[in-house]
Amino acid sequence: MLCFAAETGGEKGHVAQATAAFEWPRFSYFRGGIRSAAPYAAVTPHQLWQVVHSPRFAAATAWLRQAPAGSEQRDERKKALDYVTPAGTFAPTRANGNLQTPSGLLVLDFDHLPDVTAARATLLSDVLLQPGLVLLFTSPGGEGLKVLLEADPAASHLDNFQALASYLAGRYGPELQPDSCGKDVARACFVCHDADAWLNPRFGG
């Protein structure tokens, strides 16, 4: 059974203090792969980081990466992974019209990067992006990045995505462009293993 550590209790004072002053964003977690449309739980960025950082999905991630890149076999293995909807909680199923509570976050998928390590360093050091970066980890296939960011609460999900994509295009060109599917509010973000996953300390890391 998948268990998530509580955000309060057992975490040494600083998390409890932060919780009192900051309401953690929450989004839906789905077990059993992309064909599971009903959410299993609502989780926080810290809880997702715990899952990604832990060895829970290490074997599944290694197994996926053994399949040839771009193959149907790899795609099917990815679809079997658990996933989240960073934009918020959904009910009764994941669908654009079923958003219950927005999280204030969005996810950017960077696929087929020529140098994942360099791209990671670039995003983490970008002075405009960095204050809003929440969570960053290597994608299941090992050739991309998943990046959760805080969104402008006064703008729509689509406007936020387009603004970020436009900024990245202007600053870094086509080498660092997010997948256009990120404009979908119900966008699924697959969970995998990354021992070096990065979490903004403001979110309980």
pLDDT digits (tens, 9 = 90+) for 91-131: 999 999 999 999 999 999 999 999 999 999 999 999 999 99
> What is the spatial distance between Cα 197 and Cα 194, in angstroms, rounded to a whole number?
5
65 token code pair: 């990466």
Q: Are 149 and 106 in contact (CB under 8 A)?
A: yes
pLDDT digits (tens, 9 = 90+) for 146-203: 999 999 999 999 999 999 999 999 999 988 999 988 899 999 999 999 999 999 999 9
Total-model pTM: 0.88
Strand partners, 105: 150
Inter-residue long-range contacts of 174-177, CB under 8 Å, 24+ positions, other chains counted: 175/113, 175/114, 175/119, 176/110, 176/113, 176/119, 176/122, 176/123, 177/110
pLDDT digits (tens, 9 = 90+) for 10-31: 443 443 444 445 688 999 999 9
